[in-house]
Amino acid sequence: MHIVFVLYDRMTALDAVGPYEVLSRLPGAEVTFAAAAAGPVNTDTGALRLTATTSLAHAPAPDLVLVPGGPDIAAQVTDAPLHAWLRAVDAGTTWMTSVCTGSLILAAAGLLRGRRATSHWLAADRLPAYGAIPSPGRVILDGHYATAAGVSAGIDLALTLADRIAGPQVAQSIQLAIEYDPAPPFAAGSPASAPPPIVAFLRANRHLIMSS
């Protein structure tokens, strides 16, 4: 299956690389990183560049698309050529997916109207502006749309999709291959579990994480 990861300037690297590390291990996976134009793409910190090996216009017809998020997606929620590409390939995909604020890009392209979706916990309240229905959960499937919560949630999304695509034995083999037996040192990964002062700090300083 052809899997296309959409890259763009100031995206968050882990949003794409987490799911890539799972989905690229699916039997028969052919993975392409694509952007508006081929070449290196800067991620949000400015320290890491990923390479788009082709332009979206020249990417193979995808069976699965993943749109990552980022702290500043102002340009992507108004990117008409990107939206046109997403709408054009959508009907041919088995899965149209996003991680973090990537769901806002899918939604802005008009793909999530009336669909349940999730996003980064600090951005999910922006989904209704595009007709999507914010839904609690780390991974939300609605039809062939699959959205994940913030950044690291893409790994859980990808394992969920691996199960749907290739069955539980393949999904579990991939999980064991990447030794995904998470053991976070704190219970602080969601606003429900994190200490309230930490949640309040990030809400009050949202600009530290989200610049658009």
Provide the annotated active-site residues.
100
Least gap, CB of 38 to a second copy (angstroms): 11
Q: Cα separation of 125 and 134, whole Å?
A: 7
Q: Which is nearer to a second copy, 36 or 124 (CB)?
A: 124
Q: Cα separation of 147 and 95, whole Å?
A: 10
Q: Which stretch binds a second copy (CB under 8 A): 58-66, 84-92, 125-133, 179-187?
A: 179-187
Q: Helix (H, G, I), strand (E, B), or coil: what is residue 140?
A: strand
Q: Which is nearer to a second copy, 129 or 177 (CB)?
A: 177
196 touching a second copy, by CB under 8 A: no
131 touching a second copy, by CB under 8 A: no
Q: Which is nearer to a second copy, 49 or 113 (CB)?
A: 49
Q: Cα separation of 114 and 25, whole Å?
A: 32
Is the CB of residue 119 less than 8 Å from the CB of residue 127?
yes
Q: Cα separation of 4 and 68, whole Å?
A: 11
Task: Give first-to-last CA distance, the chain, whole Å.
Answer: 34
Q: Cα separation of 68 and 6, whole Å?
A: 7
Which residue in the set 74, 84, 129, 188 belongs to the binding site for a second copy (CB under 8 A)?
A: 188
Site residues, a second copy (CB under 8 A): 12-14, 17-18, 20-21, 24, 31-33, 40, 45, 47-51, 53, 100, 120-121, 138-139, 149-153, 155-156, 159-160, 163, 168-169, 171-173, 175-186, 188-191, 193-195, 197-199, 201-202, 208-209
